[in-house]
Structure 1
């Protein structure tokens, strides 16, 4: 809480200053309540957590534990019923929808379990589309697209369409697409759920590589105990709480 107040007091609105602070993201006593059949259903129950620069943090829990709801709140796709989320020196949870959209577009990347690739576009075109949507100057597209695909090990497969790629390769394209606009936070929802153990290990190796080379923090949800050892921190979720 003190960190958030200090950032607000000093007016640290510039990402260059905030990203080098001790904490990139701070969650203070966050709750999320939905209405189910006219009765309140508390999905998140007073959560506190933090993400620091260049960390790999995992939210582990069974289906229904609340981890995806929390991830959606961290990314501004949903807002807490109560509590605060501070991101990059700003009170993210109190921003307007338009403000959160701008932050997501410039400073966050998202990876989904189902890959979320355009099926008729090649790997190259999928990554290039991400740059186009982020407003990246056109003259930078070619170099950045090639760099991101090389970074995830798809330099020789960049002109293949999703249906011509394996599940692990499709997930790599999704990662390249998510980091193309140089976000400082990457949020991944069960990125290894559809992959076998070998492919999962490869994806985690890619994550570790991009944390080192792209100066990005990754927060991901998972229920896979075999990948826990590579995390800097694991938050275990049960019934909307950390244990």
Structure 2
């Protein structure tokens, strides 16, 4: 696995970097060259105190297969609102959002929910783990909710947790894990049902620079092994160098 960051000589960082690479899947469905998702002329506004607040103002973007794309900007710039639209959690006032062959801007809530369960994984800044469940049980729960056959759970949970470097910590509960380890569990949860797109909202915001670097290294690894596209928000300039493409947002618009 490529070393994307220069770290101090800590045993944890080095041990993780030197794990053997996992064979890349050759799934033809992930080898398409056309955009995985396109956003065209998207506007989103909200009514606040009887007045209209324009949050997104004519967004144009695309996500290509097997890329790591970052939405960069300050709090309030519209990053999270755009991420919610991309993930089908919200709909635009104007414009089009197309994910694969699905038109999210025309789909019902139920239709978007079914697509998310199969094709999209979410990673949140707060990790969003069940506190009384072990890492193994948290990932298993994600498979249960996605409707994956029970016969596949054991092998898939083990694979995902080992892929993020938690092979020896998979039976620990969140309070027994560090912040970086909890975020790795969240990543394992997000990829468990084999989505084609991962959406991550400030995944390194609660981590120090070294842990943040390790999480980005995990992202690069799972992109290759699981054939996944990742779109994430950030305001951390130290991690931008690993992105395939960066969209900078200011006041609801992209700037060059």
How far does residue 39 in structure 1 lie from its aligned partner after superposition?
A: 1.2
Is 1:47 aligned to residue 51 of structure 2? no
State the TM-score, normalizing by the size of structure 2.
0.88
How far does residue 22 in structure 1 lie from its aligned partner after superposition?
A: 1.1
1:208 to 194, 198, 220: 220
> Which secondary structure does the structure 2 equivalent of 1:149 belong to?
helix
Match of 1:30 in 2: 42
> Which secondary structure does the structure 1 equivalent of 2:131 belong to?
coil
CA-based RMSD: 1.1
Is 1:121 aligned to residue 121 of structure 2? no
Alpha-carbon separation, structure 2, partners of 1:197 and 1:227: 9
Contact 2:68 2:231 in 1 (8 A): yes
Alpha-carbon separation, structure 2, partners of 1:140 and 1:19: 24
1:198 to 204, 210, 217: 210
Alpha-carbon separation, structure 1, partners of 2:96 and 2:107: 11
Alpha-carbon separation, structure 1, partners of 2:220 and 2:204: 14
Mapping for residues 54-133 of structure 1, pairs under 5 Å? 54-133=66-145
> Which secondary structure does the structure 2 equivalent of 1:242 belong to?
strand
Unpaired segments ≥5 residues, structure 1 = 1-15
Is 1:146 aligned to residue 137 of structure 2? no
Alpha-carbon separation, structure 1, partners of 2:108 and 2:52: 24
Contact 2:30 2:65 in 1 (8 A): no
Contact 1:30 1:45 in 2 (8 A): yes
Alpha-carbon separation, structure 1, partners of 2:169 and 2:51: 51
Contact 1:66 1:240 in 2 (8 A): yes
For residues 63 and 155 of structure 1, do their structure 2 counterparts lie closer, same or farther at Cα, with a shift above 3 Å needed?
same
Contact 1:26 1:49 in 2 (8 A): yes
For residues 18 and 128 of structure 1, do their structure 2 counterparts lie closer, same or farther at Cα, with a shift above 3 Å needed?
closer
> Which secondary structure does the structure 2 equivalent of 1:129 belong to?
helix
State the TM-score, normalizing by the size of structure 1.
0.92
Alpha-carbon separation, structure 1, partners of 2:192 and 2:108: 25
> Which secondary structure does the structure 1 equivalent of 2:118 belong to?
helix
Count of aligned residue pairs for this structure pair: 228
> Which secondary structure does the structure 1 equivalent of 2:239 belong to?
helix
